[in-house]
C-alpha cells in the first residue's frame, strides 16, 4: 500500500513537471528570452519567416504551399523541443525545491523535553536547535537533518532523491541519518537534530534552485561563444548562397535557403548547454550530495589525487574494544573486571565498548559502586576511570599509565607490555593500558572500524585513475595497518593541518587536480585549498564553510559519484558539441547538391545520398533536424554512460565516437527520411 501511494505521488510529480516544462517551452519562444541562445534566436527568426512564406503561399496558391507549410511546422517543432528539454530538466530541480520549501514552511516538530517520559511539545520547526530530540510519527515531516536514536520507520525521500520507493531508517548502522523535508510513512522514530536551521541539505537544495542567475562554467562560456560565431558565419554563408543562386539563374525559393540555414545552425548545442549542467547537478542531488556550483562538479572529471582524512571518513570514528591482553601474573578475568570498573562511569563510545566486551565475552557481571568518584578523560592526563575506596582504577594511553604507576616502558620487566603494545599498533589498533593504581594488569585493543565496502570503492577509484592517500595524525604503524586493510594507495601519518595543506599544494604544483575529504575544523585549510573539498554533513561548521561539496551520507567514496557526474557532464557536453559540428558538413553535402543538380548536372557527383528531388531534400533535412533533438533527450537527462577509465582516455574515446556518429547519422537518417517522404508523396 505504501509503495503504491509513493509510486502514485511520483507519477503525479512527473506529470506536473512535464506540464510545467511544456508551458515553459512555449514561453521561451519569446525572442527576448531566446536571445540568450544565438543559434535559437536565428532559428526562431527563420521559423517566423518560414511561417509567413507558408501563409503567403496559401493566399497566392503557390505550387510549394504544402511543402512550405511542412517546413515551417518542422522548424517550430525542433525549436519547441529544444526549449522543452531544457525546461524539463530545470523544472525537475525546481519542483523538488518547491516541495522541500512547502514541507519546510509546514513543518511542526514534536520536541521531546523529557527523555524519560517521552512527553513532547509541539513547536515551530524553526525553533529547533542542534541536539534536540524530536518524535516523528507516520504522516509527519522530518523537520531538520538528524540521526535516528530510537525506533524504525519507512521514510518517503522522493522530495530529495526523486525515487518513489520508501527507505528504511533505524537507530543503528548506516541507515540512521534522516533528511529534513522528507516524510515518515509508517511507524515512528526519535530523531536527534544534527544541523541547525538554514544549514540543512534541503536548505541548500532550495538555495541552489533559487539561484537562477548562476554563473556559467568556463566550458559553457567557450561553447556559447563558438555557437554565436558559427551562427553568424552560417548566416553569411546562406545569404551568399542565395545571392550566388540569383545571379547564376538558379531558382531557389526562400524557404529552401531557410532550410539550408537551419541545417547549418547548431541549435541543440546552443539550447541545451545549461540543461546538461542542470541535469548533472540534479543527479548529484539524488545521491544526497550538494555542490556549491556546477563549476566545481565540472572540475571533478580530471581529479588525479584524493586525500582522505581517516577518522570519521574511512573509519567509523568511534573505536571499539576487541581484545583484552593480560600481563604478568594477572588473569584475563581480573583484567576484564578491572577494565569494566575503570569504564563504570565512562559514557564515551570507547568506554561503552569496553564494558560490552567485558560483559559479553568474559561474562563479567556489572556491580554497583555507589561511592565511586568518576575521573573523566582529559587531554592533559590522557586517561580516565574511577576512584573507589582508596583504589585508583584507570585506563589510558601507554605513557600516561606508566607515568601513573612509576614504571618505565624500556625496563626488561615491562618487555611483555611493550610487545603487546607494538602488536596492537601493527594491527592498526590503539593500545590502552589498565591499572589498579599500583601495577599494570594488561592492555586493551581498541580497533578503528573501517566503514563497510571501503576497499572495493577504493579499487574503483583506482580504475578511474585516482590515487588515494589516507592522512591522519595517528602513529605510522597504526596508519600502515589501516591503510592496508582499507586498500588506499598511500598514507601520511602524524599529519598536522599544515602537513595536509602542504601536500595538496605539492600535488597541485605537479599539475594534478586534488580532492580533499574531511569533516573537522583542522581539515578546513586543506578543504579550502583543494579543487574539490568534500565535507561530511556531520562535519564542523568550519569544515562545511571551507568545502565546496557536502555529502549527506557520510561516505568518503561519494567522490566516485562526483567524479562520474563531472565526467558525464563534460563528455555529454563535448559529445553534443562534436555531434553537432560533425553533422554540419554531411547535411551541407546532402542538401546543396540536391538543390543545384537541376541547373548544374556536374554537381550531381557530390550528391552522395542521391536524394530524389530538391523538394524532398529540404523536407527530409527539416524532419531530421527535429527528430534528432527528440532522440537526444535520454542522453541529456541521464548523461552519457561511462566506464571506469582514466578521464583523458574516456574523453578521447567518447569524442571519437560522437564525431563518427555525428558525421554518418545525418547521411543515413536524411536518406531514409527522403525515401519515406517520396513513398508517402508528401512533396
Residues identified as active-site: 309
Q: Which residues pair with 188 in a beta bridge?
A: 137, 152
Q: What angle do CA 103, 19, 297 make, to 5 degrees?
A: 65
CA distance 205 to 211: 10
Query: Residue 444 is inside which H or E element, if any?
Result: strand 440-447
Considering only CA atoms, which of 579, 294, 303, 338 is closest in space to residue 444? 338
> For residue 319, what is its C-alpha cell?
573505536
Judged by DSSP in three states, 226 sits in helix
Q: In terms of C-beta distances under 8 Å and separation of at least 24 residues, what long-range contacts does 543-549 make, across chains too? A: 543/518, 543/519, 544/199, 547/518, 548/291, 548/292, 548/293, 548/296, 549/289, 549/290, 549/291, 549/292, 549/296, 549/297
Report how far residue 259's alpha carbon sits from residue 620's, in angstroms, rounded to the nearest whole number: 10
Pair 421, 401: CB distance under 8 Å: no
SS3 75: helix
- Report the side by side order of strands in the sheet with 391-396: 320-326, 440-447, 429-435, 391-396, 383-388, 373-375
The residue behind cell 558525421 is: 663
Q: Which cell numbers in the block locate residue 272?
A: 541545451
Q: Which residues pair with 491 in a beta bridge?
A: 470
Phi, psi of 512 (to 5 degrees): -100, 145
DSSP letter assigned to residue 132: -
3-state SS class at 347: coil
Where does residue 188 rank: exposed (0-12), middle (13-18), buried (19+ CB within 10 A)? middle
What's the DSSP call for residue 450? B
**Number of helices and strands (H, E) in the chain?**
24, 20
> What's the grid cell of residue 371?
561511592
**Which residues are paired to 394 by β-bridges?**
385, 435
Q: Which of 496, 480, 357, 491 is nearest to 425 (CA)?
A: 480
Please answer whether residues 434 and 444 qualify as being in contact, where contact means their C-beta atoms are separated by less than 8 angstroms.
yes
Residues near 395 by beta carbon (within 8 Å), at least 6 away in sequence: 339, 342, 343, 354, 383, 384, 385, 401, 432, 433, 434, 435, 444
CA distances from 100 to 143, 144, 335 (A): 11, 11, 54
Amino acid at each position: 500500500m505504501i509503495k503504491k501511494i509513493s509510486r502514485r505521488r511520483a507519477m503525479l510529480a512527473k506529470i506536473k513537471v512535464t506540464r510545467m516544462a511544456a508551458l515553459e517551452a512555449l514561453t521561451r519562444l519569446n525572442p527576448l528570452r531566446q536571445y540568450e541562445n544565438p543559434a535559437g534566436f536565428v532559428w526562431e527568426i527563420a521559423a517566423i519567416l518560414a511561417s509567413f512564406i507558408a501563409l503567403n503561399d496559401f493566399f497566392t496558391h503557390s505550387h510549394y504551399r504544402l511543402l512550405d507549410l511542412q517546413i515551417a511546422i518542422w522548424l517550430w517543432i525542433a525549436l519547441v523541443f529544444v526549449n522543452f528539454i531544457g525546461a524539463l530538466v530545470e523544472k525537475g530541480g525546481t519542483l523538488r525545491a518547491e516541495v522541500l520549501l512547502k514541507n519546510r514552511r509546514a513543518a511542526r516538530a514534536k520536541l521531546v523535553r523529557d527523555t524519560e517520559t517521552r512527553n513532547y511539545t509541539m513547536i515551530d520547526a524553526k525553533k529547533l536547535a542542534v541536539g534536540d530530540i524530536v518524535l516523528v510519527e507516520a504522516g509527519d515531516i522530518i523537520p531538520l537533518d538528524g540521526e535516528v536514536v530510537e525506533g524504525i520507520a519507512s521514510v518517503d525521500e522522493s522530495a530529495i532523491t526523486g525515487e518513489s520507493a520508501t527507505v528504511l531508517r533505524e537507530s543503528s548502522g548506516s541507515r540512521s541519518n534522516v533528511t529534513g523535508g522528507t516524510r515518515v510513512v509508517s511507524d515512528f522514530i526519535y530523531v536527534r537534530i544534527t544541523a541547525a536551521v538554514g544549514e540543512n541539505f534541503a536548505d541548500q537544495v532550495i538555495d541552489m534552485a533559487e539561484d537562477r542567475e548562476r554563473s556559467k562554467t568556463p566550458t559553457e562560456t567557450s561553447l556559447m561563444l563558438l555557437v554565436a560565431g558559427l551562427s553568424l558565419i552560417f548566416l553569411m554563408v546562406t545569404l551568399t548562397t542565395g545571392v550566388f543562386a540569383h545571379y547564376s539563374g538558379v531558382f531557389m525559393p526562400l524557404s529552401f535557403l531557410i532550410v539550408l540555414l537551419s541545417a547549418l545552425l547548431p541549435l541543440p548545442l546552443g539550447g541545451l548547454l545549461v540543461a546538461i549542467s542542470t541535469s548533472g547537478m540534479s543527479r548529484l542531488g539524488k545521491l544526497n550530495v550538494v555542490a556549491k556550483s556546477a563549476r566545481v562538479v565540472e572540475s571533478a572529471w580530471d581529479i588525479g589525487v584524493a586525500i582522505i582524512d581517516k577518522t570519521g571518513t574511512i573509519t567509523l570514528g568511534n573505536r571499539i574494544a576487541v581484545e583484552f591482553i593480560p600481563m604478568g601474573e594477572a588473569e584475563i578475568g581480573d583484567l576484564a573486571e578491572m577494565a569494566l570498573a575503570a569504564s563504570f562511569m565512562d559514557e564515551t563510545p570507547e568506554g561503552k565498548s569496553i564494558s560490552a566486551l567485558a560483559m559479553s565475552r568474559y561474562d563479567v557481571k556489572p556491580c554497583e559502586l555507589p561511592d565511586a568518584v568518576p575521573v573523566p578523560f582529559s587531554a592533559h592526563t590522557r586517561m580516565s576511570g574511577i576512584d573507589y575506596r582508596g583504589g585508583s582504577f584507570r585506563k589510558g594511553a601507554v605513557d600516561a599509565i606508566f607515568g601513573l604507576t612509576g614504571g618505565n616502558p624500556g625496563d626488561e620487566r615491562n618487555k611483555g607490555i611493550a610487545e603487546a603494545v607494538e602488536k596492537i599498533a601493527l594491527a592498526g589498533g590503539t593500545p590502552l593500558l589498565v591499572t589498579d593504581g599500583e601495577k599494570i594488569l594488561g592492555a586493551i585493543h581498541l580497533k578503528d572500524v573501517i566503514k563497510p565496502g571501503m576497499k572495493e570503492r577504493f579499487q574503483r577509484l583506482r580504475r578511474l585513475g585516482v590515487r588515494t592517500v589516507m592522512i591522519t595524525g595517528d602513529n605510522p604503524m597504526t596508519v600502515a595497518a589501516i591503510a592496508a586493510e582499507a586498500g588506499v594507495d598511500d598514507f601520511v601519518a602524524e599529519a598536522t593541518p599544515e602537513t595536509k595543506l602542504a601536500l595538496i599544494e605539492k600535488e597541485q604544483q605537479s599539475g594534478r587536480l586534488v580532492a580533499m575529504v574531511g569533516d573537522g575544523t583542522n581539515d578546513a585549510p586543506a578543504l579550502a585549498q583543494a579543487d574539490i573539498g568534500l565535507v561530511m554533513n556531520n562535519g564542523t561548521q568550519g569544515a562545511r564553510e571551507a568545502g565546496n561539496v557536502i555529502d549527506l551520507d557520510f561516505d568518503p567514496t561519494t567522490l566516485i559519484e562526483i567524479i562520474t557526474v563531472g565526467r558525464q557532464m563534460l563528455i555529454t557536453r563535448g559529445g553534443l558539441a562534436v555531434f553537432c559540428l560533425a553533422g554540419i558538413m554531411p547535411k551541407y553535402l546532402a542538401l546543396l547538391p540536391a538543390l543545384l543538380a537541376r541547373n548544374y548536372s556536374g554537381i550531381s557527383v557530390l550528391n552522395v545520398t542521391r536524394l530524389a528531388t530538391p523538394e524532398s531534400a529540404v523536407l527530409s533535412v527539416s524532419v531530421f533536424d527535429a527528430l534528432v533533438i527528440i532522440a537526444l533527450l535520454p542522453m541529456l537527462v541521464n548523461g552519457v554512460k561511462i566506464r571506469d577509465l582514466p578521464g583523458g582516455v574516456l574523453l578521447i574515446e567518447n569524442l571519437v565516437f560522437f564525431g563518427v556518429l555525428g558525421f554518418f547519422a545525418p547521411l543515413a537518417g536524411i536518406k531514409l527520411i527522403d525515401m519515406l517522404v517520396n513513398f508517402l508523396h508528401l512533396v
